[in-house]
Amino acid sequence: METDSTTRTLGRSGIRVSALGFGCWAIGGEWQDAAGQPLGWGKVDDEESVRAIHRALDLGVTFFDTADTYGTGHSERILGRALGKRRDDVVVATKWGNVFDEESRTLTGRDDSPAHVRRALTASLRRLGTDHVDLYQLHISDADPARAAELRDACEELVGEGLIRAYGWSTDDPVRAAVFAEGPHCTAVQHTLNVLQDAPELIALSEELELAAINRSPLAMGLLAGRRAGAAAGDIRSRPPAWLPGFGAGAGADPEWLDRIDAVREILTSGGRTLAQGALAWIWARSPRTVPIPGFRSVAQAEDNAGAMAKGPLTAEQLAGIDQLLGR
């Protein structure tokens, strides 16, 4: 496995990416489910989003992860617009499985049928302004494994047609991830990983099967970037659903989570790192398979996140020190 701290290989695909990817959920803006539950990160400035993507490109970020449902298509449109003629310089990942209404910006359900894979991809290609997706990921974390095998086979067909280069599953279940990994062009599993939420089984699976571990929530939805206050209306963190830990409804961050962050702050900010840069450095030290994808909404956030690459991973001793402080 390579030791360069600024680039990594995307699993067994051979595709090279920056060690840091950028997650494009937040730049999708506001959207909701049918019951009115916010699913985005609040209001967003599209021009600032484009500037942030351009700044990330200038700083060496070559991997961008989005999904068709982020902002009900808006994230893909903004990413495609920002990349423009530089599309071939980067690796683009998106996801499918959810069904939504773009006009009302509402999630309306999900579709795990093999036929939907092609429909969803066709729509994503149009929004992204590209003729292929580098990494296509199933976005239904708890899909039935038997149905998932059918979806895996559908992805293999898309690879054969040149519409995607590789595929993976966004799931925190190693058993499900292993189902997709049976496909020759499966190269990744996307899962939660951060200092407060380790994922040893998925890391082990990635290393055993030579998959990329693409890490969502690397900054714990902003808590590991210094967020302590509550979120504005329209932000998912203002009314956190059951699957989103670390936040209390309207009351800001969970005090217990903040105490744990404070306990490891000194180690994370060593070597001149910001708190966010230290959190990313922990992930890189966790395994050479990891590719964290922090979110962003501004040029300043893009610069802070990208700046972590130059500082590289934490040491094994620092990793052990964090485990000891967190009692694990």
Domain range summary for the chain, segments of one domain joined by +? 7-219+289-312
Residue range 7-219+289-312, CATH number: 3.20.20.100
Nearest to 94 by CA among 194, 9, 167: 167
- Paired residues of 135 in beta bridges: 93, 166
Whether residue 304 contacts residue 280, with contact meaning beta carbons closer than 8 Å, is answered with no
Residue 69 confidence (pLDDT) above 80? yes
| Residue 239: count of CB within 10 angstroms of its CB | 16
pLDDT of residue 233: 83
| Number of residues that make up the chain | 328
Count CA atoms closer than 13 A to 196's CA, side-chain side: 23
Q: pLDDT band for position 251 (50/70/90)?
A: low
| Confidence at residue 257, expressed as pLDDT on a 0 to 100 scale | 93
Question: Mean pLDDT throughout 91-109?
Answer: 98
Residue 42 has pLDDT above 50, yes or no: yes
**Cα gap 213→326, rounded to integer Å:** 23
Q: What percent of the chain has pLDDT over 90?
A: 90
Cβ-contact 49, 297 below 8 angstroms? yes
Q: Which of 112-126, 179-193, 222-236, 311-325 has the lowest mean pLDDT?
A: 222-236
Task: For the chain, give the longest Cα–Cα distance.
Answer: 51
Give the residue numbers annotated as catalytic, written as ranges. Answer: 70
The predicted model scores a pTM of 0.97
